[in-house]
Structure 1
């Protein structure tokens, strides 16, 4: 049982310590989305092996599971901006305007003096 949970967690289809399980299609959807959106939407950075990019669900999948696999609901962000822009510095929260705020911050970064 514990080995199966760890295997599912490594595949990205189940949380390790509870929570809402993901669709078995999630790893493939994530891979395709990341290939098309390979940079953080806030800072433009790309991921590394030790700091991979995150895919944020604009509407969390535990609130609307039917949106989990839709690319319109996904946003590529680095870990730092996932926490700051998408979750407003609290993993218990989520930003309903994450996509708009990511664009706003991206524009500020590009146009900084």
Structure 2
């Protein structure tokens, strides 16, 4: 299947063409700026340095989206969801984690109102 044509990097003054929003160099810059200036400080306390290893291990053990699998389709899991959010007393224990595809994780997050930092509640199955 053909790709869409490359677009200019959206970083001011960058002439690079890319399929993403930013070129590789400026993706790192923008991620750093987001994590440093826009993400709440408590995020760093909840998602400590060990989280990437926990996430990777869980995805290795659960390669398919658990929501899609319950509906009969097999979609690759790319994200790990906390059933009970860390800010509400949840843990990184495997019993509290769920492997999801991007679409299912976005849907659950929106249903929890988590993305807009409003009223938060756990999504129960």
Q: Does 1:46 align with 2:76?
A: yes
1:95 and 1:87 map into 2 onto residues whose CA distance is 12
CA contact (8 A) 2:112 2:121 kept: no
For 1:6, the equivalent position in structure 2 comes to 32
**Compared with structure 1, are the counterparts of its residues 62 and 35 closer, same or farther at alpha carbon in structure 2 (3 Å cutoff)?**
same
Query: Cα offset for 1:84?
Result: 1.8
**Compared with structure 1, are the counterparts of its residues 84 and 72 closer, same or farther at alpha carbon in structure 2 (3 Å cutoff)?**
same
- Give the number of aligned pairs: 82
CA contact (8 A) 1:54 1:78 kept: yes
Gaps of 5+ in 1: 10-14, 48-52, 101-113
Query: Cα offset for 1:41?
Result: 0.7
Q: Does 1:18 align with 2:39?
A: yes
Query: Cα offset for 1:6?
Result: 2.2
2:53 is paired with a residue of what secondary structure?
A: helix
CA contact (8 A) 2:112 2:122 kept: no
Q: What is the RMSD computed on CA atoms of the aligned residues?
A: 2.7
- Aligned with 2:97 (options 47, 70, 74): 74
Work out which structure has the larger RCO, using CA pairs closer than 8 Å and 6 or more positions apart in sequence: 1
For normalisation by structure 2, the TM-score amounts to 0.54
Larger Rg over CA atoms: 2
